[in-house]
Structure formats: structure tokens, C-alpha cells
């Protein structure tokens, strides 16, 4: 679900919000045809499958805790996740937008058909990490074990391992490195585009352990991407991008309010929500489209309705 959101995310969607023109963060809506294709589900399977996933995702947070300084800072990943009438809507936390945009840029390299074919969360994470280095002018340098703990999402708010078993390098490498590599190579979509190499010295498949004495302190991944035009993935991305980003909810209310005013006295009075939305337009916070001008005709009708401008 997070990958679906990142596939749609674009910095242009946030320009008005960051400039103060919109008071609400953009909402990303995915309709049933996209959801069925993305998750490989039927219409009847969407609600029962997405509900527990959305519930877990809504409860996810990132945070920093420093007990010595008596300081903490927690941020939820999303402001709201809604499913209604076959459509999934996600409102991200605006305070995390810089991090989301950075993540989205790297996620753009991920072949989502291959990504969705993987079952293990660790396999998906490793595939996403390696996907950032498809270009010949990029290189994934050796990573320390602690860096890998972070990349695989194994740390809590205090920077400690969420499961003590991962402190054992043998357990960590088996669960997060070896098994994911094996799963990727058993996946036809991935084995056609990605090749893992064998470290001649250690005999390890897909990575080279770097030791200090007898202790593994770093891992270097040994892999090679096979060139591919990836037409199917490109077409899928284009389809996602072609879906328009829904209007800001405040803008939708403002448009409704505009139509009520211009139809006065036929359509009656403004609701309190419509009046609030209209106020954001008059104050220059929300911008109406060019075909809805705030001209003298509009202002005369607004005055007749007794609405203070």
C-alpha cells in the first residue's frame, strides 16, 4: 500500500500547499480497477484484504526518543486512510513530505510487477534497495551491519533493534539477506532482470562479508542488473500518472459554494462549511479555476445573500 502511494507521489502535487495556497494536504485516491491490478485481487477481496493493512499502516509512526534529555518526537506516517465505494484514499502527513519525496525518487526505479511478486517483507526491502542502483554510474558501497538494520526497518524509536534475535549476525543474514536473495532468484520476473554473483573467497551467493577478526562488520552486495526496456512497467507507470490527483477537499467545497452563489436565489443558502471554504478563496488561500472568476457579478450576489466578504 505504501508502494502504491509512492508510485503516484510527485512534488508538483504539493506546490500549492507548500506555498500556502491550499490549507489541506493533497489526498491520493485509487479506484477499484487500479487496486485490483496492483494487489492482484477481485472486487470482493478488496475490502477484507485492505482493511487490516490500512489499520496497521495508520498506526505506524516514526519517532525519536532521548530519555536522558527527556525528549521525544513522534510522527504518524499518514493523516488518514479511507476506503469507500471501492476507492482507497490516502492523506499523507505533510510534515513528512520531504522524506516521502526523497523515497519516491528512489522508488521510481522499482519494477512494481517484480516487487509485488515477492512475498517476504525483507525480500521487498532488499529488492527496493538494489533497484536504486540500476544505473551504470551508481554503485552500492559496502554497508555496515548497523546501517543494514536501519535499511531493513529493524530499529525502534530509540535506535535499538526491535527484535533482539537480529543482534546475532547469523540470524540477521539468514533472514534478511540469504532468504530474500533465494526468493528473488526463484521469481521469474526478477531472475530475468537481476543477477547475483558469488564471492570467490567466502563462497557466499549475492554478497561478500567484510570481517574484522572473525566478526562480520560490513556486507557488500554482489549483483548485476540486466538491461531491459521494461515496457510493461513503463506503461503501468504512465497509466498511474494519467490519473488526476483529486481536488483538495477545501477546493471542492469552494467550487460548490461558488455555484450556489452564482445560482442565487435558486439554490438557497450556503452551508457553514461552504461559507468557510469561500472565505479561504476571498483571502487568497485557495484559488478557484479561471472559469470561476470572483468578479462584480459574483460579489453582488454574495452581498444579496448577506454573506460578509
Domains in the chain (CATH in brackets) are 1-110 (1.10.10.10), 112-229 (1.10.10.10), 249-304 (no CATH)
pLDDT tens, position by position, 1-40: 777 777 667 666 656 555 555 546 677 888 888 888 877 7
Between strands 71-76 and 223-225, the pairing is unpaired
| Sequence-separated contacts (24+) of 64-70 with Cβ below 8 Å | 64/157, 65/157, 65/158, 67/158
Helices and strands per DSSP (H, E), number in the chain: 15, 10
pLDDT, tens only, 264-298: 777 678 888 788 878 877 766 667 777 888 888 88
pLDDT band of residue 248 (cuts 50, 70, 90) is low
The residue-averaged pLDDT of 94-104 equals 61
Residues in the chain: 309
Write out the three cell numbers for 130.
538494489
pLDDT at 295: 83
The lowest-confidence range among 5-9, 136-140, 241-245 is 241-245
| Mean pLDDT lowest among 171-175, 181-185, 295-299 | 295-299
In the structure grid, which three cell numbers stand for residue 135, read together? Answer: 544505473
Cβ contact 21:287 at 8 Å = yes
CA dihedral 90, 7, 97, 59 (to 10 degrees): 40
* Band of pLDDT at residue 91, cut at 50, 70 and 90: confident
Long-range contacts of 152-161 (CB under 8 A, 24+ apart): 152/122, 152/125, 152/126, 152/176, 153/125, 157/62, 157/63, 157/64, 157/65, 157/72, 157/74, 158/65, 158/67
What's residue 208's pLDDT?
A: 96
Confidence at residue 300, expressed as pLDDT on a 0 to 100 scale: 82
pTM for this model (two decimals): 0.52
Report, as an integer, the average pLDDT of 34-57: 86
Amino acid at each position: 500500500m505504501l508502494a502504491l502511494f509512492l508510485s503516484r507521489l510527485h512534488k508538483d502535487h504539493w506546490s500549492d500547499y507548500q506555498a500556502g495556497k491550499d490549507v489541506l494536504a493533497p489526498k491520493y485516491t485509487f479506484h477499484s480497477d487500479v487496486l485490483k491490478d496492483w494487489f492482484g485481487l477481485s472486487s470482493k477481496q478488496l475490502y477484507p484484504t485492505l482493511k487490516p493493512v490500512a489499520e496497521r499502516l495508520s498506526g505506524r509512526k516514526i519517532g525519536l526518543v532521548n530519555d536522558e534529555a527527556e525528549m521525544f518526537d513522534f510522527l504518524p506516517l499518514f493523516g488518514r486512510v479511507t476506503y469507500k465505494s471501492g476507492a482507497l484514499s490516502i492523506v499523507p502527513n505533510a510534515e513528512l513530505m520531504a522524506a516521502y519525496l526523497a523515497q519516491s525518487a528512489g522508488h521510481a526505479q522499482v519494477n512494481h510487477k517484480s516487487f509485488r511478486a515477492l512475498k517476504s517483507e525483507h525480500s521487498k526491502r532488499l529488492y527496493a534497495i538494489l533497484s536504486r542502483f540500476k544505473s551504470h554510474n551508481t554503485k552500492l558501497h559496502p554497508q555496515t551491519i548497523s546501517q543494514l538494520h536501519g535499511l531493513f526497518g529493524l530499529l525502534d524509536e530509540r535506535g535499538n533493534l526491535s527484535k533482539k534475535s537480529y543482534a546475532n549476525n547469523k540470524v540477521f543474514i539468514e533472514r534478511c539477506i540469504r532468504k530474500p536473495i533465494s526468493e528473488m532468484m526463484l521469481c521469474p520476473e526478477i531472475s530475468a532482470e537481476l543477477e547475483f554473483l558469488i564471492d570467490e573467497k567466502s563462497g557466499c551467493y549475492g554478497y561478500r562479508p567484510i570481517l574484522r577478526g572473525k566478526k562480520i562488520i560490513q556486507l557488500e552486495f554482489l549483483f548485476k542488473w540486466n538491461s531491459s526496456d521494461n515496457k510493461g512497467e513503463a506503461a503501468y507507470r504512465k497509466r498511474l500518472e494519467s490519473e488526476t490527483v483529486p481536488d483538495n477537499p477545501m477546493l471542492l467545497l469552494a467550487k460548490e459554494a461558488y455555484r450556489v452563489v452564482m445560482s442565487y436565489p435558486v439554490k438557497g443558502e450556503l452551508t457553514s462549511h461552504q461559507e468557510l471554504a469561500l472565505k479561504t478563496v476571498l483571502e487568497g488561500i485557495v484559488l478557484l479555476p479561471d472559469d470561476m472568476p470572483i468578479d462584480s457579478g459574483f460579489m453582488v450576489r454574495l452581498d444579496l445573500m448577506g454573506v460578509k466578504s
